[in-house]
Chain A
Amino acid sequence: MISRREFLHGAGALIVSFRSAGHSLLQEEHGQFGTHAFHIDPDKLDSWISVNADGTVTACTGKCDLGQGIFTAQTQLIAEELCVRLESVKLVQCDTAVTPDQGSTSGSQSTPTNFNLQDLALAGATAREALLSMAAAHLGEDPRRLTAKEGAVMAPDGRRVAYAELIGVQKFNLPIDHQARRRSPSEWTVLGKAVPGLDHPALVTGTFEFVQNVRVPGMLHGRVVRPPEMGAKLLSVDEASIRGIAGLAKVVVRRDFVGVVAQTQFAALQAARQLVCRWSPGSALPPQKTFFEHLQLLPSHDELLVDSGDISSSIARAHRVLHARYTYPFQMHGSVGTSCAVADVQADHATVWSPTQSVYPTRNCIAMLLNRPPDSVRVIFVRGSGCYGLNGADAVSFDAAVLSQAVSRPVRLQYTRQDEMMWENFGNACVIEQRAGLGKDGAIVAWDRESWVANRGSRPGYDRPGNVISGMLLGYEPESVEPAPAKPPTRILRNGSNTVPEYVAGCAGGACNGSGNVQGERVLTHTVASPFYTGPLRSPLRIQNTFANECFMDELAAVANVDPVEYRLRHLRNDRLRGVVVAAARAAQWKPFSSRGGEAGNEVMGRGFACVAYEGDNGYAALVADVAVNRTSGVVRPVKFTIAVDCGPISNPDGLRNQVEGGLLQGASRALVEEVTWDAKRVTSVDWEGYTSLRLDYEIPAIEAVFVVPDNVKATGAGETSITVTPAALGNAIFNATGARLRHLPFSPARMLAALKPGQPGMSA
């Protein structure tokens, strides 16, 4: 048995850190681990931080690195708050035997959660202050006269005592101090610096250990056999059909779940391909061509986010009324590496090495599937291929555990490309209808917005394995969409999905929490059943909603005959959002009423603007996109992106820049080429021929990013800000270049050419 304390001190155990990447997982002792559900109390300092005998500091975090750089930033944070060198920090991330439960690493919440006055940052500050007061007693000195530096505390007279000497290998035995003082940005020496990614050396030399590289002694290889159609049920399995495959260990069947386990990956792959299964016919899928019309007719669960109560009369009184309908397709996470997990389910306990963003919820769901108590299951996060949200990470972890339980051996399971793309939780398809009334002066007097969101499943959370395909095949249902009419809004607006346009007052529950000043407002959402699984995909619903809101704002500015930047500023009252709008316009040398940017050959140039207060208050971005539209081919070519971002104090400027740049190009890919396709029975975009992504041969636009950092503001998320505004800015630039308004993504050459034909409805007045 190994205690958490022994674990942290490396007593025959594993510390998953980038510097020890390699074969460290093999060092782990397999045995009962002495942990219990919610055994790690987040209110105790020892749950987060320990000082080791060699003077190094071990910190535990429930926010893990998915490729977004949070491992490096959190290591900087601990080095900064504890006043030790970066090399002296060991960070342990997301392991249910060791780290506090911080839910999921998602929604741009890692920075707001761990870099403000709570959780990991507060633990760091508490630890430093505790060490300072221990040193004060030790040195007989006023703690205010002491300074901490490089793992020791110094008195003004030069006397010095090392942390290790102060605390030995004892616990702190202290609660988190909610009055502990964070080191301010003006004092920072490690945080705020462009520290290169700590994982980069192992990544560029190929030795980095992804979950796909985890090898456990005695491990077998699994593959799953999915239904051929949506909704098909398993009728029978003919095991004789693969009897000839050498190295086959077992065919695993449980309800509609089918998998194979074999000695080698190749044998498992062949067995999965050749196994003959009979399935019932699936449920017919709605035709893709008319899918959005279909969505709007389905029974729905409705919610009113804001309602000023006078929307119809306000619009009836308006000088001009504009209406537009936007549609957004299903899109994929499409990780480069297919999802993979390794599970070792033994008689009394189970260990799962998983790329999940949610180790504790995944642990509880796996316990349900194995019919075990949660504290007998340990889930250890090991990074997979970049996921951008809920790809197959949770599903593959469930599947691996089920396969391992069936063969009583460790099993490594990796999906095929088709398993991944046919069954992942896609980003939601939406229809968004916008209607607004303008006054005589062109100002918006009323904004009425109604949307339909296709939804099925999502993150499984702690008890909903049916929210992903594996759980459903094993007999668990996804959360259902219960049709219900909307009630008047009573809660204060939290614009977490950016459903509410930036320009309305957002009055509900006795407060006006919107970022704008338009008083006439109604925002109604309809959640309807999706034929496919859906779930969070980078900027979930925020990118869909911002596309519709920011393009419609551009339409209103055009009708009002006001410059789009000026028009936005007239309707915005949030200072941080106004700040990035002004900064982006300045950086791009935006000229009021900047007309179409001229022509070159078959190309016509234009520029567009879009902005967002991400999740209402979790990061601010404004983007100027310059594009060239080819009138012959219909190809839209982004030429330059100029973006301003305000995410408060910046932990790692180069890491931030990397996220902002990647988000812009991922946003361009989603705006220009990405779309899930299907026929009457099944998803057809199941490989990289069927689902298009901008590849490395793409002629990328120039990118200029400026960062706005106001004084005395909290750190916010940043990784989803730039992607959120990209489709809208591109759509607005296309309009500026051509006069054609594209209201459906992706902006394919065919759609562009159709909109360019004279007399098309896409041509705006």
Chain B
Amino acid sequence: MKQVLWVNGKEYAVEVDPSTPLLFVLADELHLNAARFGCGMAQCGACTVIMGSQVIRSCVKPVGSVGSAPITTLEGLGNAENPHPIQQAFLEEGAMQCGYCLSGVILTAKALLDDRPGATDEEIRAALGGVLCRCFAHARMLRAIQRYRDARRAS
């Protein structure tokens, strides 16, 4: 089936089985790297993307159900030359080790703070309950998110 997807501000025409998980389309048809397979069961967050303004797990999202909703992956926030402020905050805190989990961490925090710019530390933590980092870079990640939140509120 032919389908049009809006990803990171660009339009893509793909021809896939509509029950294919969005993750496989992003990785294998669009050659995007950021959303990655972790569990295939929405338990870890490694495949997170933003659909509209909500974070979703692309590993369990049939591509046929995406419709015309815009999809943002971690690549869509900014690039190495011009990173998004939340990406910049992660760079400044050195908030990663292997980095495989970063789509879940950064996009979940961004979506939360877009919705509720004044979210407390506890609310940020609660929002990240579905995200797993097995290198346990937790302390730096939370500091980076706080740094982004505080700078955003000040500006």
Chains A and B are bound partners: yes
Q: Is the interface of B mostly helix, strand, loop or mixed?
A: loop
Stretch from A113-121, A198-206, A612-620 that touches the partner:
A198-206
**Interchain CB contact under 8 A, A203 and B129:** no
Structural contact, A665 and B139, CB atoms closer than 8 A: yes
Give the number of residues in B that approach A within 8 Å (Cβ atoms).
62
B118 on the A face (CB < 8 A): no
A700 is contacted by which of B16, B17, B142 (Cβ under 8 Å)?
Answer: B142
CB distance from B97 to the nearest CB of A (A): 4
Nearest Cβ on chain B to A393's Cβ, whole angstroms:
12
Assess whether A688 is in contact with B97, with CB atoms less than 8 Å apart. no
Contact B106 A204 (CB under 8 A): yes
Query: Nearest 3 CB-CB pairs, A to B?
Result: A206-B34, A67-B98, A206-B74
A264:B20 contact, CB within 8 angstroms: yes
Please report which residues of chain B, range 80-133, place their CB below 8 angstroms from some CB of chain A when the two chains form the complex: 80, 83, 87, 90-91, 94, 96-103, 105-106, 125-133
Question: Is A212's CB within 8 Å of the partner chain B?
Answer: yes
Q: Is the CB of A386 within 8 A of B97?
A: yes
A sample of 12 more A-B contacts (CB under 8 A), given A337-B37, A337-B38, A688-B132, is A67-B99, A201-B83, A206-B102, A246-B17, A337-B46, A386-B98, A417-B40, A658-B97, A658-B140, A661-B137, A695-B129, A699-B125
CB pair B36–A210 under 8 Å, yes or no, is: yes
Please indicate the chain B residues that have their CB under 8 angstroms from the CB of A575 in the complex.
none
Say if the beta carbon of A428 comes within 8 Å of chain B. no
B79 at the interface (CB under 8 A from A): yes
Task: Looking at the assembled complex, report how far the CB atom of A354 sits from the nearest CB atom of chain B, in whole angstroms.
Answer: 16
Interface presence of B151 (CB below 8 A): no
Indicate the member of B32, B38, B129 with the most A CB atoms within 10 Å: B38
Q: Is the beta-carbon distance between A666 and B136 smaller than 8 angstroms?
A: yes
Bound-state CA distance A264–B94 (Å) is: 36
A696 B74 Cβ-Cβ under 8 A: no
B4 at the A interface (CB under 8 A): no
Sample of 13 A–B contacts (CB below 8 Å): A67-B98, A201-B91, A203-B102, A204-B87, A204-B90, A266-B16, A338-B38, A385-B46, A385-B100, A417-B41, A661-B139, A693-B134, A694-B138
Instruction: Let me know if A732 is at the binding interface, CB within 8 A.
Output: no
**B129 partner, pick from A213, A383, A385, A696, beta carbons under 8 A:** A696
Are the C-beta atoms of B102 and A204 separated by less than 8 Å? Answer: yes
B37 touching A696, Cβ below 8 Å: no
Nearest-CB distance from B43 to chain A (Å)? 4
> A213 vs B30: C-alpha distance in the bound complex, in angstroms?
12
Most interface-central of B27, B39, B46 (chain A CB within 10 A): B39
Which residues of the other chain, B, contact A196 by a CB distance below 8 angstroms? 91, 94
Is B78 an interface position by the 8 A CB rule?
yes
With contacts A203-B96, A213-B33 taken as known, whether A695 is within 8 angstroms of B128 at the C-beta atoms is yes
Please, which residues of chain A bring their CB within 8 A of the CB of B34?
Answer: 205-207
Is A689 an interface position by the 8 A CB rule? Answer: yes
Most buried by A among B44, B131, B142: B44
Contact B36–A697 (Cβ < 8 Å): no
Q: What B residues does A699 contact at CB under 8 A?
A: 125
**Other-chain residue from A336, A388, A661, A689 in contact with B46 (beta carbon distance below 8 A):** A336
In chain B between 6 and 24, which residues have their CB closer than 8 angstroms to a CB of chain A? 16-17, 19-21, 24
Cα A45 to Cα B135 with chains together (Å): 35
| A703 interfacial contact with B, CB 8 Å | yes
**Interface residue? A654 (CB, 8 A):** yes
Chain B neighbourhood of A206, CB < 8 A: 32-35, 73-75, 77, 102-103
B132 vs chain A, min Cβ distance (A): 6
Is A527 positioned at the interface, with any CB of B under 8 Å from its CB?
no
CB pair A696 B135 closer than 8 Å? no
Tell me which residues across on chain A come within 8 A of B27, comparing CB atoms.
Answer: 213, 265
Q: Is B2 an interface residue (CB 8 A)?
A: no
Question: Given the complex, which residues of B lie within 8 Å of A693, measured CB to CB?
Answer: 132, 134
Please state if A208 and B101 are interface contacts (CB–CB under 8 Å). no
Contact B139 A215 (CB under 8 A): no
Chain B residues within an 8 Å CB radius of A696:
105, 125, 128-129, 131-133, 138, 141-142
* A338 touching B125, Cβ below 8 Å: no
CA–CA, A586 to B31, complex, Å?
Answer: 53
Chain B residues, Cβ within 8 Å of A69: 97
Q: Please tell me if the beta carbons of A697 and B43 are within 8 angstroms of each other in the complex.
A: no
Residue of B whose beta carbon sits closest to that of A664: B136
